[in-house]
Structure 1
Amino acid sequence: MLVGGRIDLHDRIGGVHRRRIDVQPVAGLRPGLLEQWLGDATGRDDIRLGDVLTGGNSNVTRLIETRQGRLVLRHPPVNVVSDKAAAGIEREYRAISALYGKAPVPKPVAWCGDASVIGQPFAVTEWIDGHALSERLPPDWPQTTETIDALGLAMVRGLAQVHALDWRETVDPGFGRPEGFVERQIARWLKVRENDAVRELPLLAQIAAWLRAHEPQQPRASVIHCDFHLDNCLMARTGPELRAILDWEMATLGDPRIDLGLCLFFWQRDAAASPGFAFVQGLSNRADVISPRALADAWSEASGLGHDSIDYFIVFAAWRLAAIVEGAWVLQCQGKEDTAYARGLEHDVPALLREAAAIIDKGKV
């Protein structure tokens, strides 16, 4: 959940600390090779490899000190589960390279596809100082509903800057297919879960059938993040001002309401109902904050796009997340992984599916 910035985890004590995946950095990394490569690629000097930074569930993030300023290094972990991890890092770099100067993303610095340098392909961006928030506000911020409301508005307005761009003028033609993302995701994850099933999840197929039967028409495509929520936003240290949107490794083209649906799904949930991944945007789990509908209106105003049928995309977001993260529970059951994150999925995946089903049953869509 971090590229090109710093995460302060004061807001995640007892939350993400317990539940994050243990991504492991490259063992035996030889700093000299990296420093030489970076010097040649960027012209920087006095380069020193710093600590592994906390935050992030799928890639390793490390600080780099240089005489000209701090940088951030991102690479797949050595304990990578998916063979597509390196492609994800490259996609992330392509995305921020295309978006930089047009939307709030870190400044790209260098890409290295040569695994011989550090043992994995890697990307380098400029460092951005700020807060990535989830469960708590920084202690020096006003602890008020108005602060949380401002965070939510900054989040969706930043997202709107991405979605308002004409993708044809922003990314290269091979970045993604603008149509059919929802159906491709349903087909893909149903097949994966059927092939690797370790428990009965009847709602997975039932909700998928409902999604297929009710998919609304896509008015236009945009560059989409595909994992957009408050945790992947870097806020200014002084208050709720968006500095950058992070973690672009799943970016593609599709209906912009896909991104909006996920961040609205995580907003203003009932913590007493034990929702899945309750810590994500947990600071908004209270009745007196700005409503998801008001955030959707703010996104529409900023992007110039409509949010018709947004509840459909909220259902899709919950279903897709459940289908994807069930893979870590499969590994847990197979004895290939044993982490607090994976163990928690015994509850979280069914809970996500129940939340999606409840939205359908209430007839919100």
Structure 2
Amino acid sequence: MSTTPFTEEALADWLSDIAGTRGPLSLTRIGAGQSNLTYLATDGDGTEVVVRRPPLGHLAASAHDVAREGHIMASLADTPVPVPEIFGTTDPDGSVGPLRVSDAPVVAMSVIPGTSLNSPDAAASISPEARSAAATGLIEAMVTIHEVDLVATGLDDLASHGPYAERQLRRWSNQWEKTKTRELPALDALTERLRAAVPEQTETVLVHGDLHLGNIIVDKETGNVNAVVDWELTTLGDPLADIGSLLAYWPTQDGPNLPGFDAALEPGFPDAEELAQHYLSRTGRSRDALDFWHVLGLWKVAVIVEGVVRRTRDVPANASSGMALPASVVEVLVDQATVLADQVGI
């Protein structure tokens, strides 16, 4: 099992060919993400490229597919969706011709100016007006993603057009079984409640799958969204799923809140209901199924956090900025989801 993210000489040669870097590179881990690993590669002239690869260690099949991420962003290059420029992607084994860049696939992309609002300190670095603009821009970016022409972008075959809720429940239930560190009957009970409450799906759109403040890059002065990043969970499905996931991440003044997602408590950010209303007003969609997707969002995030706990336990170097999420966060999320399910009749 490798604990080295890249073969640095091969990485330098590859980025020289596709992105114009020169000579040796310095690598700095960036972002607060606990899944795929993202680094800023900088050469001696100051030229910068972002490179992204899966976590270190053993991975569940089909998880952390950065090559698929690169394909999605490249497909969106000529749409209104703001994404980085994709310079290139290695083969699945991390090679490019004779170069072995890594032991896993790597995608290289442009650096987007701005800041990611992944902490209270980051949010405090911009004005309340810019925070409000960032939240508005996040919803507008979501609307734009849901408007993508799947056929024109070549993304129509990205995933099944079958019922999304059933697919999500199947995928994340399987993920739980593969990554769980202990039994959690409350999560199992919630899974069955969700299966019994699946709403009818009336449309299929491009769904980002993980859209929150930490996955947008905004202008520090205006709050305008310069890019949407982290397309690992993107698929085809029900548009309300993206709002449900956003509500699952969005903090409340009373808490409890997911560690690392409390930036939106700073003045200037709207509350969760305002976000939902903005989206529904912009799209004309009904909120009838939104409570289901909110509960499923909390349930899904609980499964994702369990995977983070497992990967960090197995390979501590996977933890972002040395921060390991405690397993207790999973129970907190399941409790929140269960309370909400009780309130809305799921």
Q: How many residues align?
A: 331
Q: Give the AA of the match of 1:37.
A: W
The 2-side partners of 1:220 and 1:180 are apart by 9
The 1-side partners of 2:217 and 2:42 are apart by 20
Matches within 5 A, 1:227-246: 227-246=210-229
Percent of pairs with identical residues: 25
Asked whether the 8 Å contact 1:74–1:123 carries over to 2, the reply is: yes
Q: Alpha carbons of 1:227 and 1:350: their partners in 2 closer, same or farther (altered >3 Å)?
A: same
The 2-side partners of 1:194 and 1:73 are apart by 30
The 1-side partners of 2:56 and 2:183 are apart by 32
Please state whether the residue corresponding to 1:355 is helix, strand or coil: helix
- Give a deviation string over 1:142-182, Cα, whole Å, max 9, x none: 2x4x5443332121111111111132322344311122232
Deviates more, 1:121-130 or 1:199-208: 199-208
Asked whether the 8 Å contact 1:132–1:233 carries over to 2, the reply is: yes
C-alpha displacement at 1:310, in angstroms? 1.2
Q: Which residue of 1 aligns with 2:38?
A: 61
Asked whether the 8 Å contact 1:161–1:302 carries over to 2, the reply is: no
Asked whether the 8 Å contact 1:109–1:124 carries over to 2, the reply is: yes
Query: 168, 171, 189: which one pairs with 1:188?
Result: 171
The 2-side partners of 1:149 and 1:30 are apart by 41
Query: 18, 25, 50: which one pairs with 1:49?
Result: 25
Please state whether the residue corresponding to 1:174 is helix, strand or coil: coil
Q: Give the AA of the match of 2:83.
A: V
Q: Alpha carbons of 1:45 and 1:302: their partners in 2 closer, same or farther (altered >3 Å)?
A: same
- Are 1:70 and 2:51 an aligned pair? no
What RMSD, in angstroms, separates the aligned Cα atoms of the two structures?
3.1
Q: Which residue of 2 aligns with 1:300?
A: 280
Q: Give the AA of the match of 1:295.
A: L
Q: Which residue of 2 aligns with 1:89?
A: 66
C-alpha displacement at 1:313, in angstroms? 0.6
Asked whether the 8 Å contact 1:164–1:304 carries over to 2, the reply is: no
Deviates more, 1:354-363 or 1:57-66: 57-66
Matches within 5 A, 1:1-365: 25-26=4-5, 29-31=7-9, 33-41=10-18, 44=20, 46=22, 48-55=24-31, 56-65=33-42, 69-82=47-60, 84=62, 88-102=65-79, 103-113=81-91, 114-115=94-95, 116-119=99-102, 120-136=104-120, 137-142=122-127, 144=128, 146-194=129-177, 198-271=181-254, 273-275=255-257, 277-280=258-261, 282-285=262-265, 289-303=269-283, 305-329=285-309, 336-337=314-315, 342=324, 344-345=326-327, 347-363=328-344
C-alpha displacement at 1:331, in angstroms? 6.2
**Structure 1 gaps, min length 5:** 1-22
TM-score, structure 2 length as denominator?
0.83
Asked whether the 8 Å contact 2:130–2:224 carries over to 1, the reply is: no
Spell out structure 1 runs of 4+ moving beyond 6 A.
none
- Give a deviation string over 1:82-138, Cα, whole Å, max 9, x none: 4545x6111100110111231011111112215243123211111112111133245
